[in-house]
Amino acid sequence: MKDNIDEMVTTLALTVFRANGALIAAGDSLTAPFGLSSARWQVMGAVELAGQPLTVAQIARNMGLARQSVQRLIDELERDGIVALDENPHHKRARLVRLTLHGQEAYAAIMKEWHAMAARLAEEMNAAGLRAAIGSLEQLSAGLDALRPPD
């Protein structure tokens, strides 16, 4: 194990890259049977968990992604009948995204499998370690954002 704390930050960064790749790969395996992917599943989650229809721009802000990245995913999900776009009474241009019934069913099925997988993963992990990991990653993200040159 590294002794310098700043070298540990570097190790943490590399570990994050690995974990990110592993999570996306696992998510793709989980969602592929439904014709979906990790990215589409995440967008669906943002819509479903909000509890109300959202605009594309709101979804992007919630997820920390660029507006246009989400826009394309939503366009594709609409073509596939996973989400529908309702007229927004408060904004003629920004329609509201909601899951279709088909989308809700697929999302529920995927979440059921994900929770089973998460429970199996949790077997080998302890709550204190997880809490520490989440805290450290939040610090890392916040610190990186703060240190970056403002736009």
Partner DNA sequence: CCATTATTGACAACATGCTGTCAATTTGAC
Partner DNA sequence: GTCAAATTGACAGCATGTTGTCAATAATGG
- Establish how many alpha carbons lie within 13 A of residue 50's alpha carbon, considering only the half-sphere containing its beta carbon: 20
If the CB atoms of residues 81 and 139 are measured against its own copies, the closer one turns out to be 139
Q: Name which of residues 27 to 86 contact its own copies (CB under 8 A).
A: 29, 42, 64-65
Please choose which of its own copies, DNA, none residue 86 contacts, taking the beta carbon within 5 to 8 angstroms, the exact cut-off set by kind. Answer: none
105 binds DNA (CB under 7 A): no
Binding partner of residue 108 among DNA, its own copies, none, CB cut-off 5 to 8 Å per kind:
none
Residue 69 interface partner, choices its own copies, DNA, none, CB cut-off 5-8 Å depending on type: DNA
CA–CA separation, 143 and 29 (whole Å) = 32
Q: Which residue has the tokens 């077997």?
A: 123
- Subset of residues 70 to 89 that bind DNA, contact rule: CB under 7 A: 71-73, 75-76
Report, in Å, the least distance between residue 98 CB and its own copies.
21
List of residues contacting DNA (CB under 7 A): 21, 37-40, 42, 55-58, 65-69, 71-73, 75-76, 90-95
Q: Which residues bind its own copies (CB under 8 A)?
A: 1, 5-13, 15-23, 25-26, 29, 42, 64-65, 114-115, 117-122, 124-141, 143-145, 147-149
